[in-house]
Amino acid sequence: MNLFNVYPLYQIIPSHAKGCYVYDKDGTKFLDLYGGHAVISIGHSHPLYIKELSNQLNKIGFYSNYIINELQQKVADEIIKQSNCVDYNLFMCSTGAEANENALQVASFNTGKSKIIAFKNSFHGRSNAALASTDNLSIKSKLNNSINVTFLNFNDKENLKKEICKKDVCAVIIESIQGVGGLNEPDTDFVKFLADICKKSNVCLIADEVQSGFGRTGDFFAFQKHGIEPDIISMAKGMGNGFPVGGVLISKKINAQFGMLGTTFGGNHLACSAVIAVLQTIENEQLMNNSKELGNYFIKKISNIKSVMNIKGRGLMLGLEFDFEVKELRKKLIFKHKIFTGGSSNKNLLRILPPLNIKKKHIDMLYDALKIELS
Ligand SMILES: Cc1ncc(COP(=O)(O)O)c(C=O)c1O
């Protein structure tokens, strides 16, 4: 049997990984400035992560959500402590798309409405409502047309107001920094306006923090820069450092009912132990500070390269914009300089999403490689 061929693959076969490095079968060492799509938050094979997961596996790896799992409460308490998002309840699931699907489902239950407002260039995942809210026609099927979504530009207050006034909207879903879409950010003034109009109109504001959450931008969640309180916050990626786990924080104002949401695998014991190890490491190693400091160092250092037109993003969620397509540059970085970076729907943008504990020397390595390729 062949594999269903949906991924254009680079010909690299990893055998093991440690910290910021991935090694292939021949022992070639690659610097991982992509974190497997912003997933590796505390570094590959972190000792505490291995210890927590191994200990948990020796006790109980899984049982379903029909008996008590005390670890879920521990995850909730730790997220509150580190994020300072106190007025929320936690529901755990397994992926980012599932987190957004659940967020949209709760919004629709809560308002009794079904229309969604999303933003141009958005990416929210591959399940039905999440994909319908994603602004990329090439990955949608007719099935996704059954969901009513309006796409707006960031900072377009007028059309936002017009749409919300129609009184059929259940949710506005927003990435405070777009990931796949290429690191675009709305203005604080717009985000505050959005939060305010949602509150006044009983529309659920969903912050998609799947990629930007868990300390990646230097704040626990990227929306916190704007001083707002969304009704629902979706999370995944860095939350499990590679273990498939996601979750939604749901405002205490929204009441839960038995059966409203559900999952077989979500929030299982092993998943919780991965999240606990991640949160402990973020705290022990002050990784939010490191994201902020190293993000600033990155911007300062890389701006010395003349052909970089623009550096977008914050913390360790960054994009380098050029006036040419980066496909060939990415290939050179991987195969010649042994550095993983990412692309985006903006073909001129190189995405940088390293583990949150990278050091200056790793940024210097990218700088040296770019110097060689671009001078
Ligand atoms: C902002 C955002 N939301 C949702 C998703 C979907 O997450 P997953 O691939 O875990 O379903 C992604 C994945 O890239 C993402 O970047």
Q: Which residues contact 286 (CB under 8 A, 6 or more apart)?
A: none
| Residue 267 falls inside a structural domain | yes
Domain boundary among 252, 284, 316: 284
* 93 shares a domain with 149: yes
* Alpha carbon of 356 to ligand 1 centroid (Å): 18
CATH number of the domain at 141, please: 3.40.640.10
* 61 shares a domain with 26: no
Q: Which residues contact 294 (CB under 8 A, 6 or more apart)?
A: 316, 358, 359, 360, 363
| Residue 132 falls inside a structural domain | yes
Q: What is the residue-averaged pLDDT of the chain?
A: 97
Q: Which of 193, 102, 96 is nearest to 152 (CA)?
A: 193
Q: Is the separation of the CB atoms in 99 and 210 below 8 Å? A: yes
Domain boundary among 231, 263, 284: 284
pLDDT at residue 321 in the model: 98
* 29 shares a domain with 79: no
Dump pLDDT digits (tens) for 211-241: 999 999 999 999 999 999 999 999 999 999 9
* 24 shares a domain with 150: no
* 158 shares a domain with 71: yes
Residue 36 burial (CB count, 10 A): 18
* 27 shares a domain with 93: no
Number of domains in the chain: 2
Has residue 254 got a pLDDT over 90? yes
Q: Cβ(282) to ligand 1 under 6 A?
A: no
* 41 shares a domain with 58: no
* Alpha carbon of 304 to ligand 1 centroid (Å): 32
| Residue 297 falls inside a structural domain | yes
Residue 200 burial (CB count, 10 A): 9
Q: Whose CA is nearest to atom 3 of ligand 1?
A: 124
Dump pLDDT digits (tens) for 28-42: 999 999 999 999 999
* Alpha carbon of 230 to ligand 1 centroid (Å): 18
* 237 shares a domain with 343: no
Across residues 237-249, what is the average pLDDT? 98
| Residue 5 falls inside a structural domain | no
> Phi and psi at residue 117, in whole multiples of 5°?
-105, 130
> Phi and psi at residue 365, in whole multiples of 5°?
-65, -40
Burial 77-112 (b: 16+ CB within 10 A, else e): ebbeebbebeebebbbbbbbbbbbbbbbbbbbbbbe
| Residue 133 falls inside a structural domain | yes
pLDDT at residue 20 in the model: 98
Has residue 171 got a pLDDT over 90? yes
Q: Whose CA is nearest to atom 13 of ligand 1?
A: 125
Dump pLDDT digits (tens) for 51-64: 999 999 999 999 99
* 175 shares a domain with 52: yes
DSSP assignment of 7-25, as one string?
----S--EEEEEBTEEEET
Quote the crossing angle between the two packed helices 157-165 and 188-201, to the nearest 10°. Answer: 10
The domain in which residue 255 lies consists of 47-284
Q: Cβ(95) to ligand 1 under 6 A?
A: yes
Has residue 91 got a pLDDT over 90? yes
Domain boundary among 284, 306, 332: 284
Q: Cβ(217) to ligand 1 under 6 A?
A: no
* 216 shares a domain with 116: yes
* Alpha carbon of 357 to ligand 1 centroid (Å): 22
SS3 235: strand
| Residue 82 falls inside a structural domain | yes
pLDDT at residue 375 in the model: 82
| Residue 294 falls inside a structural domain | yes
* 166 shares a domain with 122: yes
CATH number of the domain at 345, please: 3.90.1150.10
Across residues 281-306, what is the average pLDDT? 97
Q: Cβ(180) to ligand 1 under 6 A?
A: yes
| Residue 161 falls inside a structural domain | yes
